[in-house]
Amino acid sequence: MMKKKLIKYAIDLACSIDVEHGGFAGIFQYADHGRFFVTDGYKILETETLIDGLSLNGESRMTENMIKHMDVVNEPELDYQLYDLPTVEEIKEGIRGVCGRKLDRVVWSDGTITINARWLYKAMEALNAKTAYVSSTRPKNMPIFLCENDDPQSINRVLIMPMYNRDKVGYWLAV
């Protein structure tokens, strides 16, 4: 049975799709050959089952592209490796240090990966994850993956697209 935190994360992700910026109206999930996805174009959640409360829709170009990204973790030339992340509390404290709690556009980087800090901690909380999978050959350009309970065999996982970085480290507001 899927955890309540993961269901809430899926619904929040589906509701984050912004119509004014090229997103879609409504609350969606997609099915593809027995796999279930919820995406907003920057993050994608793959789940083992359909999520009650979300409509099941056909694929779109955005969904097809995100599903392709979800499968890059298996590409040998990208060599995805286990990567330690800061704790959820450390990330929340970093966000508070930059802007309090209101803004969503706080970036975190450790020099290897650069990512939206809020997206990262929310995915970590939903999946009970403390680590991620990061490409060892192109870490700054490739998405990162988090797996439920840090289990690479888990079907419940999240992909988060990286953000652009000009060699900064720490937390800062995205422009």
- Name the residue ranges covered by the structural domains of the chain: 4-72, 77-173
> What is the pLDDT, as a whole number, of residue 19?
47
CB 123 within 8 A of CB 70: no
> What is the pLDDT, as a whole number, of residue 175?
76
pLDDT tens digit sequence for 121-163: 999 999 999 999 999 999 988 999 999 999 999 999 999 999 9
> What is the pLDDT, as a whole number, of residue 166?
80
Residue bearing the bigger pLDDT, 159 or 99: 159
Closest by CA to 119, choosing from 83, 136, 140, 143, is 143
Q: Which one of 3.90.79.10, 3.40.190.90, 3.30.230.10, 3.10.150.10 gives the CATH number of domain 77-173?
A: 3.10.150.10
Q: Does residue 109 register a pLDDT over 90? A: yes
Average pLDDT over residues 107-131: 96
> What is the pLDDT, as a whole number, of residue 28?
61
Average pLDDT value for the chain? 85
pTM of the entire structure? Answer: 0.88
Residue bearing the bigger pLDDT, 77 or 55: 77
> What is the pLDDT, as a whole number, of residue 25?
45
Six-digit token string for 30: 């997609």
Report the 10 Å Cβ neighbour count for 19: 9
pLDDT tens digit sequence for 5-57: 998 998 888 877 654 445 444 456 677 777 788 888 788 899 888 887 777 77
CB 30 within 8 A of CB 59: yes
